[in-house]
Amino acid sequence: MDKIAWQGSQGASWADNWRRTDRSFGVLTESLLTRLRGLNYRQVLDIGCGAGELSLAIVRNRSGVEVRGIDISPQLVEAAQTRAERFNNVAFVCADAATWKPDDDFVPDQIVSRHGVMFFDDPVGAFANLAAVAAPSAKLLFSCFRAPSLNPFMTEVARLLPSSPQSPDPRAPGPFAFADASYVEQILSASGWTEINFAPVDFPMIVGGGENPVADARDYFCAIGPAARALGELDEHERQTFFARLDALSERNCREGIVSLPAAAWVVTAKRG
């Protein structure tokens, strides 16, 4: 996990653009909420909560539930806290889920995460810690990206860059670290989780809208994702070439004023053993 980036410029950029990330992950968030509606729980731990979209959606629907969101980015936690000012049953903490321990009587019986678990340096240790702080028979529900080839919203944009280096280790902490379901199952089994299940979910990643959806998509990709990290290393000619290619990609994927590209996730469920 690149803690320095998440605690610095990358975290700040995501915090500044939380409305865009809420929009882009909206369909996936609803899929997670649909699965939660059939479950009974009182205390929820949201891992890698970001700017708080999933946590806030849970408390809006269940006033009797207590939710605690944790994230390593102080900027994202601050954004979540600001959004949560009118709620008294949700709190956000800047912490690393791999080592976090509650300092009160909070014992989650439901752990959730929307794409916040693929960045652990030691995933077995991290999920073992989560099992240790959870209530007996607690439930786990999280989403993570499937294979890069099924996620053009990221891979197609990366291909437009002059160079798009790939990690030599597909399981290194990052967006696609949990793409292999068998690998994730091994991690969860080794860390004390049982009844593990994987459900594939395909959804549109909305990246542009408003009066000029193509320009909005450009702003999105320049703030979030692989292009955002690479732009600072491009010279002016390379930047303009990239922008032209990016706008063309967005135009090809613009329908009824919305720019979206396909995305694919696993929704994973498990139970504390």
Q: Where are the alpha helices (DSSP H) in 134-225?
A: 152-159, 181-190, 213-223
The per-residue pLDDT for 22 is 95
- In tens, the pLDDT along 233-273 reads 899 999 999 999 999 999 999 999 999 999 999 999 999 98
In this structure, the number of other CB atoms found within 10 A of the CB of residue 189 comes to: 15
Kindly state whether residue 18 falls inside one of the protein's structural domains.
Answer: yes
Kindly state whether residue 41 falls inside one of the protein's structural domains.
Answer: yes
Contact between residue 260 and residue 206 where contact means Cβ atoms under 8 Å apart: yes
Contact between residue 115 and residue 144 where contact means Cβ atoms under 8 Å apart: yes
pLDDT: is 10 or 216 the higher one?
216
CATH (domain of 51)? 3.40.50.150
Strands 110-114 and 90-94: unpaired
The per-residue pLDDT for 228 is 85
Q: Give the residue among 78, 75, 46 at the shortest CA–CA distance from 59.
A: 46
pTM score, two decimals?
A: 0.93
User: Does the pLDDT at position 34 exceed 90?
Assistant: yes
Kindly state whether residue 107 falls inside one of the protein's structural domains.
Answer: yes
- In tens, the pLDDT along 195-225 reads 999 999 999 999 999 999 999 999 999 998 8
Q: Which residue type is seen at 224? A: I
Please, which residues have CB within 8 angstroms of residue 122's CB and are 6 or more apart in sequence? 98
| Total tally of structural domains belonging to the chain | 1
For residues 139-162, average pLDDT: 94
In the structure encoding, which two tokens stand for residue 25, read together?
Answer: 């992950």
Kindly state whether residue 230 falls inside one of the protein's structural domains.
Answer: no
Range of the domain at 111: 3-148+168-203+264-272
Euclidean distance between CA atoms 181 and 161, whole angstroms: 29
